[in-house]
Amino acid sequence: MIEKDESNNMEGTVVNSKFMRIFLIIFAAFLIFAGPTYVSYMLADVLNVNYVASVVSGFILFIAGLLLLLFLVKKKIVEF
């Protein structure tokens, strides 16, 4: 019983601080908008990575940003 109560208290501590909530929102926006554009450009042109690999990595960052945004909506940090 005690362990269950402690695990419930620890579950929300990551997003309880105002700094972390703001950081996660900005990070999600960065992943959604800059992931497919700027990161793909930097990988393809600056670091000379294969174009397909850079586009796939941009798509993965976009999906990660959407999943982070979905997490924030479920925790009711971001409301629509």
Q: pLDDT per residue over 44-65, tens digit each? A: 999 999 999 999 999 999 999 9
Higher pLDDT: 68 or 10? It is 68
Instruction: Give the pLDDT score at 78.
Output: 85
1 token code pair: 């019983």
Token couple for 48: 């000379």
Alpha helices in 1-80 (DSSP H): 2-11, 18-33, 40-41, 51-74
Q: How far is CA 20 from the centre of its chain?
A: 12
Q: Tell me the pTM.
A: 0.78
Q: How far apart are CA 77 and CA 75, in angstroms?
A: 6
Q: How confident is the model at residue 39 (pLDDT cuts 50, 70, 90)?
A: very high
Give the separation between CA 73 and CA 6, rounded to whole angstroms.
24
Does the pLDDT of residue 4 top 90, yes or no?
Answer: no
| pLDDT value of residue 28 | 96
First to last CA, the chain: 36
